[in-house]
Amino acid sequence: MTTNRLIYLPLGGAGEIGMNAYVYGYGAPGEERLILVDIGVAFPDMDTTPGVDLIFADITWLEQRRDQLEAVFITHAHEDHVGAIGHLFDRLGSPKVYARAFTANIARGKLAEYGHGDKAVTVANAWPEQLEAGPFRVGFLPISHSIPESSALVIDSPEGRVIHTGDFKLDVTPLVGEAFDEDLWREVASTGVRALVCDSTNVFTPHAGRSEVVVGPEITQLVNDSTGMFVATTFASNVARVKTLADAGVAAGRSICLLGRAMRRMIEASIKTGVLSDFPLVISPEDARNIPRENLMLIVTGSQGERRAASAQLARGKHMGLSLKPGDTFLFSSKTIPGNEKGVIHVINSFSELGVDVVDDTSGLYHVSGHANRPDLAKMHEVVNPQIVIPMHGEHRHLREHTKLAEQSRRKGVLAVNGTMVSLSGNAPEIVEYVETGRTYLDGSVQVGALDGIVRDRIRMALNGHVTVTVVLDEGDEPLGEPWCDLMGLPETGRSRAALQEVLEEDLSQFLNRAGKKMLSDDKKLEEGLRRVVRQSAQDEIGKKPEVTVVVSRLT
Amino acid sequence: MTTNRLIYLPLGGAGEIGMNAYVYGYGAPGEERLILVDIGVAFPDMDTTPGVDLIFADITWLEQRRDQLEAVFITHAHEDHVGAIGHLFDRLGSPKVYARAFTANIARGKLAEYGHGDKAVTVANAWPEQLEAGPFRVGFLPISHSIPESSALVIDSPEGRVIHTGDFKLDVTPLVGEAFDEDLWREVASTGVRALVCDSTNVFTPHAGRSEVVVGPEITQLVNDSTGMFVATTFASNVARVKTLADAGVAAGRSICLLGRAMRRMIEASIKTGVLSDFPLVISPEDARNIPRENLMLIVTGSQGERRAASAQLARGKHMGLSLKPGDTFLFSSKTIPGNEKGVIHVINSFSELGVDVVDDTSGLYHVSGHANRPDLAKMHEVVNPQIVIPMHGEHRHLREHTKLAEQSRRKGVLAVNGTMVSLSGNAPEIVEYVETGRTYLDGSVQVGALDGIVRDRIRMALNGHVTVTVVLDEGDEPLGEPWCDLMGLPETGRSRAALQEVLEEDLSQFLNRAGKKMLSDDKKLEEGLRRVVRQSAQDEIGKKPEVTVVVSRLT
């Protein structure tokens, strides 16, 4: 008889910040009944993923076991937790999806893009309600974060209780949404907790986190002191912050206008699902045009400098009939995510050129993080008092540091990156298997594997340029006319001052003249030879070796 | 009779951090005798300049007036001030180049790559020596910075004295190189200064700068407390820091090994030119392999996470026979330059996977900036007490803020970005002309204009992939065989699950069958038609429109 076991298997999020996807299972080895916690995206960049639209965890392992999958639970509505639900829902066999009302609203929007109705997501109530999912009973335990209705999951199995924090901070005055309720958490943990699976993103921040409530007075002061138009950006999903900004504007006698689809979408969802009941009246961009600028406040998308978002549009000039000018103020009530610095700086410099005063978060006055810092993590460990701490949601350095932190208070820490299957049964946690994981790219409308070589080829073209070589051969394998080249992304002239195209064609021509029958009759050899000529000739002329496509046309 | 005038014209550095190049002129309008201060590079990135090796200021304006150019003065040996001297020397007509000994050593190395001998650079002594350059007399006034022998320039002309600070901080205990000598500066300024042209990079840092001397004890403590191998990285040119690191290692009983060409190059130049006289003995990587790791300290290149530098190599595994393991410590005694975050984080995570403890600059204990912060800039204004302050070396936001700072103490500030020619004659500074400026890319071995479209095409291929379409037509303009496609950087299959290449070829074939004589006989129309088919067909299949090269071969 095989003993049942409780397993934890991160497929995404344990090794990066983004694309969260964590599997729990219970049952006989290989036959565990499974649940998935979160199914998020990560964002591409030009350095490593040019042209890619979104990045998901590779869910092949779970797809192959979708008959074992009981349900998907979404902790909160940030893209890195819910963003892939629409794209991967079918591959997972249209599983049951549970989320709280606000999160469900967002998840339904994503599923609707793939033609799935609202029924695809079931709204869950907060703790103490628990949902059955095979051998599991799962409850949504409210926790504060930078988006409404963020929840930890209380995952009960025959092997005991696991608490999966989701993203969180310990905020007792979060303004919108539920405060961290320490007494409730202690009560939930009082039955004993086998494992705490815990957010790690801010483990390197040494001071205790600050409450959302602290930024309100600072922002209000700033708006009061400003004379021209006031524009502020933050993450659209940070509904509490959007409300703080709007309240500050109203207090200063300004009308509020929201710009950006995501901004309006999030506020609508918040109002519709009841997490936001007293948001100020907003006006349309059309009406905003007729309001004196000192009586106007725009709250806009684009805190990360995204090219198409409202902030970048305003930085480039007019947007929705509105434009900024000297004397106006632009506030980044947000943190710049690593990798987005250049985009944000570009927007700031564009505003500078317009004479707009930009205030960013360097002072620390106008933004607080949504994640638990190092002392908050230590407190969470203490409150839950688990046997095991498994750091999740973080790069390797975060997981490692968080593991160390757990071990400092003599708890068992487990460093488990994506693909590490940990058994939580028995006397001590044990790594029982390494599962192949990776990344899937959404590229246009197609899902491709990160290792398919597609993106690698694109990067090479971006670095080296591209040459197409065309040769036509007659029935006797003799060249018909001269070979020719088409260049893309390459300089027109090089060392010899002659046109690069002509130099390449001349060298190819000489090569063909020298080539023997054996070479000319063998497509593969001929292509290889032509490619080598182009790369060497280009190296001599321009100091780089382009990517080459060789087309040999044979008349038959 | 035309009145002579004194002009200032930034060609690079006033609108970005990097590629410094500032022109001063004196004479009749259009006939000014010119000097150039600094001739640096900026660094490419994948987002905007894939495949580019280096970026220079576009010096076309100066090249066209090279007969008016008296000399080039280099303030210090950082790449963004001296890096382009080799690449642009010939275009400037092989001008006289002046620099102090250490800077000259570095500049000569760059000129040697283009076959120019040591005579191309003349070593200048420090103030009070002044060099004649047409109507100018120029002196090198020592100032502290993060590289030896950094100097401001005292530029005397018939219209008075200008002080061009170069990059600087106000460090009275810089450890290596000359301290900021406030008395000397006041004395130089006592004759009256028409304009202070002043470094702006750190204008947003609110606190006064800290001396190089403060990091020594902290680093020594850290090295003393570490048990395994100790590895530290910093900018190779920060010779004082390299010495501080080495001294800390020696004090802890460790042998010092330098890894990375730039690191060895800089220390050699420092010793050779006498700016460094008491650097500890270093050992070779070969010898380092035989030393117990707790007695070894490596000082390595790659503080910005550069893929080929020693730090990244060590993060990937063995380098020069040396490798790191659990218990070792890696220190970033450096700041991450905006845009390099992802590379640095990647290196840190790789070390984390090796079990190496990484210490970075977030604590502020192990690195100090080489630039003057806001209060230091205010002090510099006060010490020099110029009529005019012209902020230089900074993005638009820095120049704007620095201009405001100058105006707060009732000085005349001039915001002059690249291409803005400012007359410093007359009662008040006046913008007299806008000159076309821009960027030149070193791409392989070729210099190309930023607006030539080459890089734009590469970016498009990286985002969209590339398709080559080949069609062969006979003498009667009839297709010979079927059209075919070669794909690069595109998924193999799309919506229809058939091979993308086959779908495209089928659609092209149908298009050719429908095409009339008029289309088939017109290269341009045919190419345009084929391109449109590929882009539309790909859009349907994979949701993106690739770049297309069409090759029409006609048998004649």
pLDDT of residue A556: 75
* Inter-chain touch B462–A462, beta carbons under 8 Å: yes
Q: What gap in Å lies between CA B78 and CA B404, rounded to an integer? A: 28
What does each C-alpha distance from A203 to A155, A208, A394, B345 come to in angstroms?
Answer: 24, 10, 9, 15
Phi, psi dihedral angles at B11 (to 5 degrees): -100, -20
Task: Name the minimum distance, in Å, from the CA of B356 to any CA of chain A.
Answer: 10
Q: What gap in Å lies between CA B175 and CA B234, rounded to an integer? A: 16
**What's the average model confidence in pLDDT over A197-204?**
98
Query: The tokens of A441 are what?
Result: 């790219």
Task: Classify residue A363 by its DSSP letter.
Answer: G
Those residues whose C-beta lies under 8 Å from the C-beta of residue B527, and which sit 6 or more positions away, are B550, B552
Residue A427: pLDDT band by 50, 70, 90 thresholds?
A: confident
pTM of the model: 0.95
Query: The tokens of A484 are what?
Result: 């020719």
- Chain B partners within 8 Å of A547 (Cβ): 488
> How confident is the prediction along chain B (556 residues), in pLDDT tens digits per residue?
469 999 999 999 999 999 999 999 999 999 999 999 999 999 999 999 999 999 999 999 999 999 999 999 999 999 999 999 999 999 999 999 999 999 999 999 999 999 999 999 999 999 999 999 999 999 999 999 999 999 999 999 999 999 999 999 999 999 998 999 999 999 999 999 999 999 999 999 999 999 999 999 999 999 999 999 999 999 999 999 999 999 999 999 999 999 999 999 999 999 999 999 899 999 999 999 999 999 999 999 999 999 999 999 999 999 999 999 999 999 999 999 988 999 999 999 999 999 999 999 888 899 999 999 999 999 999 999 999 999 999 999 999 999 999 999 999 999 999 999 999 998 899 999 999 999 999 999 999 999 999 999 999 999 999 999 999 999 899 998 899 999 999 999 999 999 999 999 999 999 999 999 999 999 999 999 999 999 999 999 999 999 999 999 988 7
- Short-list A352, A342, A351, CA closest to A306: A342
Q: What share of chain B is helix, strand, coil (3-state, %, to 5)?
A: 35, 25, 40
Strand stretches in A276-359, DSSP E? 296-300, 329-332, 357-359
pLDDT of residue A1: 47
- Provide ipTM, 2 decimals: 0.94
What radius of gyration, in Å, describes the C-alpha atoms of chain A?
Answer: 28
Buried residues in A332-360 as b, exposed as e (16+ CB within 10 A):
bbbbbbebbbbbbbbbbbbbbebebbbbb
Residue A2 has pLDDT above 70, yes or no: no
> Which contacts (CB < 8 Å, 24+ apart) does range A458-461 have?
A458/A50, A458/A51, A458/B461, A458/B462, A458/B463, A458/B465, A458/B488, A458/B489, A459/A48, A459/A50, A459/B46, A459/B50, A459/B462, A460/A547, A461/A488, A461/A489, A461/A547, A461/B458, A461/B461, A461/B462, A461/B466, A461/B488, A461/B489
What does each C-alpha distance from B170 to A222, B101, B427 come to in angstroms?
Answer: 33, 22, 31
- Chain B partners within 8 Å of A452 (Cβ): 491-492
**What's the average model confidence in pLDDT over A350-362?**
94
pLDDT of residue B27: 98
pLDDT of residue B1: 47
pLDDT of residue B454: 96
Domains of chain B and any CATH numbers: 5-207+369-449 (3.60.15.10), 212-363 (3.40.50.10710), 465-554 (3.10.20.580)
**What's the average model confidence in pLDDT over A201-209?**
96
- Short-list B81, B10, B13, B15, CA closest to B395: B15
Residue of chain A whose alpha carbon sits nearest to that of B453: A489
| A 196-225 residues inside an 8 A Cβ radius of B | 204
pLDDT of residue A13: 98
Q: What gap in Å lies between CA A463 and CA A545, rounded to an integer? A: 9
Residue of chain B whose alpha carbon sits nearest to that of A445: B543
Query: The tokens of B91 are what?
Result: 């275009």
Residue of chain A whose alpha carbon sits nearest to that of B53: A463
Residue A534: pLDDT band by 50, 70, 90 thresholds?
A: very high
* Alpha carbon distance, N-terminus to C-terminus of chain A: 68
Q: Which amino acid is at B295?
A: N
Task: Name the minimum distance, in Å, from the CA of B424 to any CA of chain A.
Answer: 23
Q: Which amino acid is at A249?
A: G
| A 424-453 residues inside an 8 A Cβ radius of B | 443-446, 448, 452
Give tens-digit pLDDT for A390-402: 999 999 999 999 9
Query: The tokens of A162 are what?
Result: 């696991």
Task: Name the minimum distance, in Å, from the CA of A355 to any CA of chain B.
Answer: 9
